């Protein structure tokens, strides 16, 4: 069963090639997958999502995906294949217990997936709109909204998307030294996954 992959691949082929950083390696065929990922759930993720491989049965989740809450991100993966944690910017800092729960449950790998055009990379430039939005949408007072922004934006802003994925991957590798932690990148333009060089 292809689960609609053919239609998605057709739509993707009509999109312009995204302009992504040089650290992003495309996966347009199985030969593009880095050797370190072969035989792992990361390989399966890449062939399911990018190459439209037919879904297999997965008795239990084999992968933990940490990614952004952005509504444009959608993965083509089978049911029961992966746990997915969605949080602004894919920032898992402070969510280590959630990650540990998946690790302790037996996942074989972690994928940290950033994306382009991420609002959390620009949150420090959106102070006025953020405060105004809370006032108009939630009924907050100006001062209350301002304090909320000033308190939390430094904690949750991620800066450059690629550099954040790389630094967070390095942090998670130190935290879980026996786990495979893979940095990937999702293009909201062509909806494909890219492998990120750690440099």
Q: Break the chain into its structural domains and give their ranges.
A: 5-118+160-196, 121-157
| Sheet of strand 63-67, all strands in order from the earlier edge strand to the far edge | 24-26, 193-196, 180-186, 109-115, 63-67, 82-86
Residues 182, 36: Cα–Cα separation, whole Å: 9
**Which conformational region is residue 80 in: left (phi greater than 0), alpha (psi within -120 to 50 degrees), or beta?**
left
Cα dihedral value 187, 97, 40, 19, nearest 10:
10
Helix axes 161-175, 96-104, angle to 10 degrees: 60
CATH architecture of 5-118+160-196: 3-Layer(aba) Sandwich (3.40)
Q: What residues have CB less than 8 Å from 142, skipping those under 6 apart?
A: 131, 135
* Residue pLDDT tens, the chain, 199 long: 344 444 444 344 445 678 898 899 999 999 999 999 999 999 999 999 999 999 999 999 999 999 999 999 999 999 999 999 999 999 999 999 999 999 999 999 999 999 999 989 888 788 999 999 999 999 999 999 999 999 998 888 899 999 999 999 999 999 999 999 999 999 999 999 999 999 7
């Amino acid at each position: 069963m292809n689960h609609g992959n053919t239609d998605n691949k057709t739509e993707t082929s009509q999109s312009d090639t995204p302009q992504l950083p040089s650290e992003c390696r495309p996966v347009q065929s199985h030969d593009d997958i880095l050797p370190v990922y072969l035989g792992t759930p990361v390989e399966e993720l890449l062939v399911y999502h990018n190459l439209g491989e037919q879904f297999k049965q997965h008795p239990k989740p084999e992968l933990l995906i940490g990614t952004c809450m952005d509504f444009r991100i959608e993965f083509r993966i089978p049911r029961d294949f992966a746990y997915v944690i969605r949080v602004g910017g894919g920032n898992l800092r402070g969510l280590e217990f959630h990650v540990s729960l998946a690790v302790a449950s037996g996942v074989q790998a972690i994928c940290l997936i950033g994306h382009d055009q991420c609002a959390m990379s620009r949150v420090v430039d959106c102070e006025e709109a953020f405060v105004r939005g809370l006032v108009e949408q939630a009924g907050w007072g100006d001062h209350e909204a301002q304090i909320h922004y000033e308190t939390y934006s430094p904690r949750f802003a991620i800066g450059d998307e690629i550099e954040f994925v790389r630094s967070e991957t390095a942090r998670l590798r130190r935290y879980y030294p026996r786990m495979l932690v893979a940095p990937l990148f999702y293009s909201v333009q062509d909806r494909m996954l890219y492998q990120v060089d750690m440099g």
